[in-house]
Amino acid sequence: MSIKRKFARGAAVAALGVSAVIAGSGAAFAGTNGQQIEFFDNIGNTGSVAVYGTNQAGQPARHCFDTPVSDNRFGGWWWEGSVTLYEYSGPCSGGYTTGSLVETQTVNVPQAQSGSDWWAVNNYAD
C-alpha cells in the first residue's frame, strides 16, 4: 500500500472517529432534549447564578454563570425538569458564586419546546 493511500485511509478513520464521538455525545439540539437557560436580570442586582438541576442525560448537574448584563444566555449547558437558580450579588470565582444570596427560584424546564433552545427565567421586582 502506498504512503498516499495509507495517509488517506488514516484520515478517513480519524474523521469517522470524530463523527462517532460527536454523534454519541448526547448533546441536545433544537430544544428536543432539554433547554439552555436565558436569565434576565431585570432588577440589576445579580452578579452570578448557580444553577442546580438535571442535565439532558438525566444526571445531576451544577454550574456557576456570571451575569454581567441584563440578558444572559447560559449556553452549552442543557437542563430539564426541576432546576433551581441561586442568584448572588457577586461574580463567579473558581466555579463558585461570591457575594450575598439575592434570590432563589425553582423553575420547571421542559424537555422539548418548539421554536427555541432557550428557556427564559426572569428575576422580576416584586
* pLDDT digit string, tens, across residues 90-102: 999 999 999 999 9
Q: What is the pTM of this model?
A: 0.74
- Is the distance from CB of 63 to CB of 83 less than 8 angstroms? no
Is residue 17 one of the residues assigned to a domain? no
Segment 27-56 shows an average pLDDT of 87
Domain that holds residue 102: 35-122
Asked, for residue 101, whether it belongs to a domain, the answer is yes
Residue 24 belongs to some domain of the structure: no
Count of domains in the chain?
A: 1
Q: Does 85 reside within a domain? A: yes
The pLDDT, as a whole number, for residue 25 is 41
Return the DSSP state at 9: H
Which pLDDT value is given to residue 97?
93
pLDDT, average across residues 8-19: 51
Instruction: Report yes or no: 118 and 37 within 8 Å, Cβ to Cβ.
Output: yes
Answer yes or no: is 106 within a domain.
yes
CATH number at residue 107: 2.60.40
pLDDT of 68 over the 90 cut: yes
Say whether 83 sits in a helix, a strand or coil.
strand
Residue 3 lies in a domain: no
Confidence (pLDDT) at 26: 43
**Element spanning 95, H or E:** none
Residue 61: inside a domain, yes or no?
yes
113 lies in some domain: yes
Q: Using 50, 70 and 90 to split pLDDT, how confident is the model at 33?
A: confident
User: What confidence tier does 30 reach under pLDDT thresholds 50, 70, 90?
Assistant: very low
